[in-house]
Amino acid sequence: MDATLLRKVGLTEYEYGLVLERLGRSPNHLELGMIGALWSEHCGYKHTKPLLKMLPSTGPRVVVGPGEENAGVVSIGDGYVVVLKIESHNHPSAVEPYQGAATGVGGILRDIFTMGARPVAVLDSLRFGPLVLPRNRYLFNGVVAGISGYGNCVGVPTVGGEVFFDPAYSDNPLVNVMCVGLARADRLLRARTGRPGDLLILVGAATGRDGIHGATFASATLGAETEALRPAVQVGDPFTEKLLLEACLELAESGLPVGLQDLGAAGITAAAVEAAARGGHGVEIDVDRVPRREAGMTPYEVMLSESQERMLVIARPEDEPKVGAIFAKWGLNYSTIGRVTADGLVRVVAGGEVAGELPVRLLTEPPTYQLEGRPLPEWIERRRLDLSGLPDLRLFATPWDTSGAPVVSDVLIRLLGSPNIASKEYVFRQYDHQVLLNTVVGPGADAAVLRVKGTSRAIAVTTDGNGRLCFLNPRLGAMIAVAEAARNLVCVGRPPTA
């Protein structure tokens, strides 16, 4: 196999050997692209899955834990649940900051309402290089504008978050977006197939060429060639997302869908395959029935496009007219593109011929790797233990001159001028944090507080982290991040739940 092609789809020669062994033949171009997307770090968690399984994920309030569905679910009583998730859109934001951040918001919103929950809040956790560099200022302003532009248009408040600056993030920012949703426990939807014969209905925006190889792009190491990767960045439309949100919530209330899955990384491929895997079935997809906004698209492009604002509905054949009526009410285009099968295969049909056919389990069971721990370099060890570089705390004292007027230390002035200490109002004043009228405590506090209308309950939400501490001591730094987030919640009177 050509090494260049393997790199393009994100596979190593070792992994291609595994494909040949498991499949018993050479995959064609479409099949190879599908495998590469779902075996990418972004979709397959090849290096992180063994570590993530070590995290505590059960408890009396946990309804759905990590890895089971699109988002986690915890009970808050009175028949209500909170649905929550955080994910990154780092590489797209490094290449095209506005759209990268905007579609990061769009994707996390869909992860929430695909479970039948109404998104009630967005938070963000951002990292950039020093703003003295023009490129970093461009990335910073673009990301902040993308988050506000998408969230404000959809009508979901951005109520909190954090921003930090460090040279480690120059040219490669971290853009993490969290969404919190609210739902009745008895109205939760699952992203899975029900039974053979159920229909796959694609609804929302038409499919284009934006975002192809987005999953493998997100798993790669960025370099000087990033400008050439702009086609891998999706383009968002928050107004279509708003229609999709309301339509899917009405669909959840109707009880019609068997399952609902958003189209994020790896597009139709991941959405259909993951739903089939959870249901223990196969799927057959006719790419000729997928609405497109560009002419001449190949099955490969259709199956791997990551065009935004699209959802996959699994419904019983007899319910198709009712499902279609709800989408028509909201002015959304939809098409039945396939069906659930009993054979455990994902089959792609184009022009009446089978264009690709793979076992679902092959796609959803990528190889995993055990990360090899290495000692920290000596200079880091010295930095971790050497406190001599810290300023003398007496420098921050405010001496008084003979007239009785305080003299402000130059060190204090420089500290207050640091963007890591300065007010972040420049960022959060661009966000609408009062839309939906649930926000009791908004941005700028230790944690945001949101009322749950119709009840006497409220929820508190926060994001926090410390990259420098995690760099110096990953285990201890992560523990400190959890503890700090917990203290933020305690400061507004709420015990940590999840």
User: What residues act catalytically?
Assistant: 42, 89
Distance (Å, whole) CA 209 – CA 124:
28
Q: What string of H, E and C letters represents the secondary structure of 213-266?
A: CHHHHHHCCCCHHHHHHHHHCCCCCHHHHHHHHHHHHHHHHHCCCCEEEECCCC
Q: Read out DSSP for 315-384?
A: E-GGGHHHHHHHHHHTT--EEEEEEEESSSEEEEEETTEEEEEEEHHHHH-----PPPP-PPPHHHHHHH
The residue assigned the tokens 């890591």 is 420
* Amino acid at the residue 311: M
Contact 207, 271 (CB under 8 A): no
Contact 202, 292 (CB under 8 A): no
The DSSP element (H or E) to which 121 belongs, if any, is strand 118-128
Angle (CA) 238-242-248 rounded to 5° is 135
Distance (Å, whole) CA 15 – CA 5:
13
Distance (Å, whole) CA 431 – CA 143:
12
Distance (Å, whole) CA 127 – CA 108:
18
